Structure 1
């Protein structure tokens, strides 16, 4: 079930939210965000309220303040224990107090306590953060403003205390009482080619002929009913660069925040190495929880998540290399493996797996990923076949840090490639399990195709191992670089590499003074290097963006949650967090308004903020139960503790929780009010829509052709293939050059040619299996492609070149 976040009272019932205003500033590859949420207490008694909201795992939160009746109160970052103590003492004294912290179970959920909110008071809560922006394969820089916070599945009744289970009523979209506004500025000397969004924007104002900056805003009337996504396309996005930022003059010149900080960006041009066989053990973990029955997006006739997952698994199975091992696990409240152990990839095992995939349902209850992961890691390794784990989930797991710790513990023998499906997937879970194991993370939302992103990760897993990765600096005398980022051991072709460093010592005063940084690595015994020269003159930034991003990367390398982090790492994280002002699992922002000292009169009043019904939701289920809900625990340290609630379930298109104590009969009429969105976002040429495929569509035809491919890469010449190619078996046999080609070789040639002629837009999805087919043709001594191409092109009415059958070096 998808829920909007907001200001919640001590019983987790929302208070009236009036508006949300976001100011976004993107400079090159970094976003700076200031978000203000405006609330008003329209009741006649004071409130204690909780503000729970999602945020990307990579966000470095460095400022929090409250504006109450015209008075600004700036929070101080403290040790979490001390912050809670200060907050509770302030409440006991009748002061207004504010507390902001990460949730104990996940780094992508934050909670703010607002204590002693007086009747008639207005409060504006403003938080600021900076964030690195990920780069897509097509060169787009992606920014997402999270709006959706899903409840997380609890592994057991003894789960860590968490505030992730929100309970808010469902109303039609038009009845929402709050709105979202966003003003954005984008600037880069790289030049802005275009900007796209899944939401309606005002007209974009580009500045100058070189279009180095742009301003725009969300169209008026936008509701906070889905994540806001922006895609920014620069003209020279793959250029390496180094940015140097001035430190704080009042700090020590060799300290984390006092010394100049450098942000280095590389785009390694790793050569493509193709071999006929590749080794590896490929294990796919697919979420089969009930939430996977939801659509991929809110658009009409959007494909169900489980259907997209099944097509993706079949595509992955067809693309696996000969000689590897594989297995598939489906998981929910329980888990099921296709085979007791990973099996060798053959025609027989592939066919068995495909049939099992076709029969898969989203019928395994909640989302328990830890147990199947442990089962995978405890299997004995297969000599010569490194383990590659692919995890597909909508990410609704409460015990995020337990999963991350398990993946990191086994990171020496595997890599994990993770996929977050749908709105609200946990960025903390998805990004962290990939980062700690040397894999990559992908998010599949709205109009994205799961198939293309899965194949991108499979290609990366098949890349030759890059070794001896190092970074060296050429700097003037008396100046040296102190690395802040963790040692980089894995890099992938086409992936951006970001490294942070302090420049300690004497920086030359000459404006033309420069330094040089060199990235070195080896591949198949051959050494490669890439260099970039940069200005040594640091630029001032009031927000200390680079310093805080560097601190965030250091915190992420050592912070594994409030309970799971070792004492040694905890001390390091606490020191880094307090020095940089960037929040961690062990720190919290606290502010006290000492001008107000009025005792609280009477009990707190709870009022709900309605939320819209959103497609793509999920419903949490507890362990070993088909009907009960997961245990809802009060947050640790909350001044007013509330007992766990028992909540009944209601069903309306997707599962939705009813308010406490409500009877189902009472809500029949309210269920009729639920709506499906018809306000479709604008068409985006770079984001493919994902609909249920109609017969005759290109996606459907390509999927049918892929389904017919054999494990070794070949196709059989039969009626099914002829139908996909738009011809008859008799005609295929009539033009078959029997004197030089076996039937399967002729069929394989025709299939490959058809893909190149008709499926170009989906090439990223069939490229691996097409290469497997070409290798099979060469291994079966097929020669004379140029002459055979004339016959094939004439038969298929195509004009494809024979170079498609050339093997790459």
Structure 2
């Protein structure tokens, strides 16, 4: 087979002087010296092995920490450690137990490695007791689905964790990890997702090797395009080519292969059943296997027709990220993308445009609501977009919530669409998903990720929660191609109201992923997977839906059997991600137990489990004497003068307790924190500027409550504290009472100034009761007393100029007094003890 391989547009050649050797300093070399990635693509599934080579250049035993990315949809199913003449297979365990095993092994002088997931696409590897001059290799095995859209499949492998914006107030607690960012109430594990960044100007300290062998598996493969410079070698016979990365590429961006196929312009549906084998982890006891021999995993794929009829009028809210991390080509591409979306609107539609950093800006002439998409209004919106530059911090929560609130007021006779254009570099993903989940009903959310190292884990999760699509734009020159896809997504879907009618297949409904089927768009397949208890030989499924014209639609799926074990692990990973997203919203112990059980049964890594490999031999008496955190590359396209996504924390929000947390484990002297000093943008980080009437801040922002029926939050005198308090509150009630006051405060963040001033004055009087409880039960009495004293000035209306200062101080102090950031959940990312 001969297939041409072309570069994706907009890529630059590798640096001619990028060396492959380790970087030497007065402290020696960095521990990570090789990263090898090999993928076998078969049809629309990739099996991947990732090898990380660590070498100890010191004269004492070493522990190395590496914060690295993996594809967000990949299932990590195996880990093994190779050291000297020994190979140690990793075991998947509950995360706390795995850490205990690792720490005990390190303390006793044995070699050990542990791999933990901190985000769907961010992981931490720790390798301990590497002897002087010794090399240890850790191998991870992954199964990864290839998304297929518009006649092309995409294999994406990330190579760097980009700096992320970390909002919130720093926690007065031990840090959760070894990174450079402080843990905050909004991102309690920020120190686990913020590796130090290698200073610019150094040769490449890591040798990167990457290859992909492609077997089209009967699909008509036409072309291959790569984001990095590759060479191809013919596989011979019926097999496809092997694509290899050229030497000299750095770990500073995503590696992307796009595989172009051709297909008929007709709807196609296929059902694949994968029975469990003796090696497949079961969801029932081993003794029951003989009674249920046909249980297994199903995968349903529906390819819709490429065209459809006209849909309903649309209400479209466009959110454009203009924060500091969007500088350079990304800001240009984002402006063009937003303008192209505005140009696709018609006179039947209404729209709103918001650009945001730590403030929210809107075109002055369009007002605060949804405006008709007339020629004049579209021109004003494009004119506003053309004048935007990158600046500030990525405060995503408020604009996203306000966009959803706007669409929540639309009628049911219109399609409601929100489009978010960003690089997604935020750390509080769980918080955002939890606080917006209740407002997503009936609204489609499409995300456009612009960067060479996009936070696809978050943007994909948000798009899935909003039953929309995620589009990746890794260069400005690819924007035109990407915008053709986005145009189809913003248009009305071809099919809605999807449902499945099963015949002869006993499906477990609790295991179906995605949980909601969403809608079908041109060129975008629907992939549904889950577990079945039993399937007859003639088992089948019929897909039913409603077309854009309102007529019934159906498609019978063809059924086939498969022996690929990857189908089960890929389903397990998708199902675990669904459960983890639900945990971020409701967070119950039963759900946590279910996540752990599913992860262990199917041997797929998740955020509640970890792979740990422990050598039985003692290698270093007394444990490691030196620890190094591996610095990572500055992401490609992030200019040194460009402001990274750092938090905006003006003076009133700075914590008034304690000093900074202990420094992270030693990083290399040629590494730097993930950004320059904190920018002085002024104003509280929650502040928003508008050119027209202020919008409300919906109640669901403050803790996942449903969208309020009225446009304005309840008045302060109807405080939730009065309803929640018991006749004789005790210390057990105190955190909930403080949290209720905090929720009421956040719910009024968009209210007029006089109303907020009155609320602070009323709150001061209620603090008296909380102070009495705190004093009786050794609670935070001093802190609450100091806050009440600061709020005495609210009795004087002439002092309202201090509103923002006091409002920010009150949010900070109440947040600190809740202790756990208001979640009330176990911090499973924290290290024990």
| TM-score (normalizing by structure 2) | 0.67
Query: In the alignment, which residue of structure 2 is the partner of 1:799?
Result: none
Q: CA deviation at 1:571?
A: 2.5
SS state of the match for residue 576, structure 1? Answer: helix
Alignment of 1:195-594 (within 5 A): 195-208=224-237, 211-236=238-263, 240-249=269-278, 255=284, 259-269=295-305, 272-274=308-310, 278-294=312-328, 304-338=329-363, 339-363=367-391, 365-379=392-406, 381-383=409-411, 384-446=413-475, 448-454=477-483, 456-464=485-493, 466-475=495-504, 480-482=506-508, 484-485=512-513, 486-505=515-534, 515-523=539-547, 524-536=549-561, 538-539=562-563, 541=564, 544-560=565-581, 564=585, 566-567=587-588, 568-594=590-616
Cα deviation, residue 246, structure 1: 3.7
Distance in structure 2 (CA, Å) of the matches to 1:109 and 1:59 = 12
Range with bigger deviation, 365-374 or 85-94: 85-94
Q: C-alpha separation between the residues in 2 aligned to 1:496 and 1:43?
A: 52
Are residues 7 and 557 of structure 1, via their aligned partners in 2, closer, same or farther at CA, if it must alter by over 3 Å? farther
State how many pairs are aligned.
613
Does structure 1 residue 113 correspond to structure 2 residue 126?
yes
Residue 47 of structure 1, aligned match among 54, 62, 73: 62
List per-residue Cα deviations over 1:461-497 (Å, max 9, x = no partner).
Answer: 332573441223444xxx6344533241322222111
Say yes or no: does 1:152 pair with 2:164. Answer: yes
* Unmatched 5+ stretches in structure 1: 295-303, 509-513, 632-639, 660-809
Structure 1 residues 7 and 624, CA, compared in 2 at 3 Å: closer, same or farther?
Answer: farther
Whether the aligned pair in 1 keeps the contact of 2:196 and 2:674 (CA below 8 Å) is no
**Matches of 1:535 and 1:643 in 2, distance apart?**
53
Change (3 A) 1:348 1:228: closer
Describe the SS at the equivalent of 1:120: coil
Judging changes above 3 Å, is the alpha-carbon distance between structure 1 residues 323 and 256 closer, same or farther for their aligned structure 2 residues? farther
- After TM superposition, give the deviation of residue 531 of structure 1 in Å: 2.2
> Shift of residue 170 of structure 1?
3.0
Distance 1:35 1:271 in 2: 40
Deviations 1:550-592 (A, max 9, x none): 1112112221287655214322222211111111121111221
Q: 1:224 to 1:34 in 2, by over 3 A?
A: same
CA contact (8 A) 2:81 2:87 kept: yes
Any unmatched runs of 5+ in structure 2? 1-17, 170-183, 290-294, 656-660, 678-833
Alignment RMSD: 3.8
Structure 1 CA distance for aligned equivalents of residues 476 and 442 of structure 2: 34
2: CA distance between counterparts of 1:190 and 1:588? 36
Q: Are residues 1:80 and 2:95 paired?
A: yes
Task: Determine if contact 2:33/2:205 at 8 Å carries over to the other structure.
Answer: no
1:351 Cα offset (Å): 3.2
Partner of 1:772: none
Residues 323, 32 of structure 1: alpha-carbon distance in 2 compared, 3 angstrom cutoff: same
> What secondary structure is seen at the aligned counterpart in 1 of 2:618?
coil
- Distance in 2 (alpha carbons) for counterparts of 1:629 and 1:174: 40
> Displacement of 1:604 after TM fit?
1.3
Paired residues of 1:7 and 1:49 also in contact (CA < 8 A): no
Q: 1:599 corresponds to which residue?
A: 621
Question: d(CA) in 1 for partners of 2:331 and 2:572?
Answer: 39
CA contact (8 A) 1:192 1:232 kept: yes
Aligned to 1:702: none
Displacement of 1:606? 3.9
Cα distance in 2, alignment partners of residues 200 and 29 from structure 1: 23
* 8 A contact 1:648–1:657 mirrored in 2: no
SS at match of 2:554: strand
Counterpart of 1:65? 80
Bigger shift: residues 255-264 or 370-379: 255-264
Q: 1:272 to 1:646 in 2, by over 3 A?
A: same
Assess if the C-alpha contact under 8 Å between 1:621 and 1:629 holds in 2: no
* Deviation of the 1:340 alpha carbon: 2.3
Q: Provide the rounded CA distance (Å) in 2 between the counterparts of 1:102 and 1:610.
A: 18
Q: Secondary structure at the match of 1:213?
A: coil
| Inter-CA distance 144–389: structure 2 relative to 1 (3 Å threshold) | same
Q: 1:189 to 1:646 in 2, by over 3 A?
A: closer
> In the superposition, relative to structure 1, how do residues 515 and 274 fare at CA in structure 2: closer, same or farther (>3 Å)?
same
Any conservation in 2 of the 1:170–1:610 contact (CA below 8 Å)? Answer: no
Paired residues of 1:400 and 1:428 also in contact (CA < 8 A): no
Offset at 1:218?
A: 2.5
In the alignment, the residues of structure 1 paired with residue 159 and residue 124 of structure 2 have an alpha-carbon distance, to the nearest angstrom, of: 14
Aligned to 2:644: 620
Conserved 8 A contact 1:61-1:128: yes
1:42-71 deviations in Å (ceiling 9; x for gaps): 110112221211122211111112111131
Per mean C-alpha deviation after superposition, the further-off stretch among 149-158 and 337-346 is 337-346
Name the counterpart of 1:763.
none
1:604-683 → structure 2 map (5 Å cutoff): 604=626, 606=628, 611=633, 614-616=636-638, 619-625=643-649, 642=663, 657=675
The offset of 1:24, in angstroms, is 0.6
